Structure 1
């Protein structure tokens, strides 16, 4: 197996174990789950800490979410495009929060020296904002704000409304997030 493929397979095997055991997971458990000898793991990663950082880095990487966003059909109605975007963002955030909780990270990696190097470059997060803006652009004439601002609001509201602690363990569903953004809280009565 090529080195990058082996590295990815080890990280993929480690992630469920990290979510279950946190940093207490052993390299033996990870090697068994990956179907390799423990020594092979150490030929790929110099130590367990390097593997933990690589796993955090993979989970925080926005590129898989960007690829999913790019596959959303721009001819779909606005609500459907927004719902698809919220689903993608919420899945990514769930994965991030679950790993952060298991590793007892009390804040984002930039506030935790152990994982600071795992943060993606800031320009990658900007690309997520740009992807959301492109999704909204076909209906910019229906929005009260520019597409970029609507994208920012979509991202922020999705974050706030799907975070378990912010929502008292009652996160909003994607349709509810979209309805909140597009319809607000006021009842609309037919004229």
Structure 2
């Protein structure tokens, strides 16, 4: 029997790897709050747990990055900017309100889950 070689994922920069880990971690953080483990995040991302600690000093730094990502408004601003100006004003306002509501819900879910599981609103 020939030995099987493991296939490595394509190389990523540290920045790209951080982004991928945070994108994977966000729904888990929203569901489990501070009780999410780095093992759960690593399995969901399809990486080894040690890979997380190559780009984050510790779990708190990863959670801080998740909070920052949840608060990032780039996507909602782009969504609002893409609303066609030829639509009637009430329709444009409704679309903008829907986009804002989704943004606030995502942010509230992540921060609420962290707060509910013991993470202070502001770390010392």
Taking the aligned partners of 1:17 and 1:101, their CA distance within structure 2 comes to 13
Of 106, 110, 121, 1:112 maps to: 121
Q: Secondary structure at the match of 1:72?
A: coil
SS of residue in 2 equivalent to 1:74: coil
Distance 1:11 1:81 in 2: 32
Residue from 38, 51, 70 that aligns with 1:27: 38
For residue 40 of structure 1, the aligned residue among 32, 38, 51 is: 51
Structure 1 residues 51-60 or 4-13, which shifts more?
4-13
Q: Which has the larger radius of gyration?
A: 1
| C-alpha RMSD of the superposition | 1.6
Give the whole-Å Cα distance in 1 for the aligned partners of 2:82 and 2:20: 25
Normalising by the residue count of structure 1, what TM-score does the alignment of the two structures yield? Answer: 0.55
Which residue is equivalent to 2:5?
none
Q: Show CA shifts across 1:89-135 (max 9, x none).
A: 00001101111221126xxxxx9322x9xxxxxxxxxxxxxxxxxxx
1:81 equivalent to 2:92? Answer yes
SS in 1 for 2:115: coil
Mapped pair 1:90 → 2:97:
no
Higher RCO structure (Cα 8 Å, ≥6 apart): 2
Deviation digits for residues 132-165 of structure 1, max 9, x if unmatched?
xxxxxxxxxxxxxxxxxxxxxxxxxxxxxxxxxx
Q: Report the TM-score, using the length of structure 2 for normalisation.
A: 0.83
Tell me, which stretches of 5 or more residues in structure 2 are unaligned? Answer: 1-11
**2:66 counterpart residue number:** 55
Query: Number of matched residues?
Result: 110
**Aligned partners of 1:74, 1:90: CA distance in 2, in Å?**
20
User: Is contact 2:115–2:121 with CA below 8 Å preserved after alignment?
Assistant: no
Shift of 1:19: 1.1
1:4 and 1:69 map into 2 onto residues whose CA distance is 27
Q: What CA distance in whole angstroms lies between the structure 1 residues aligned with 2:91 and 2:16?
A: 35
Partner residue, 1:11: 22
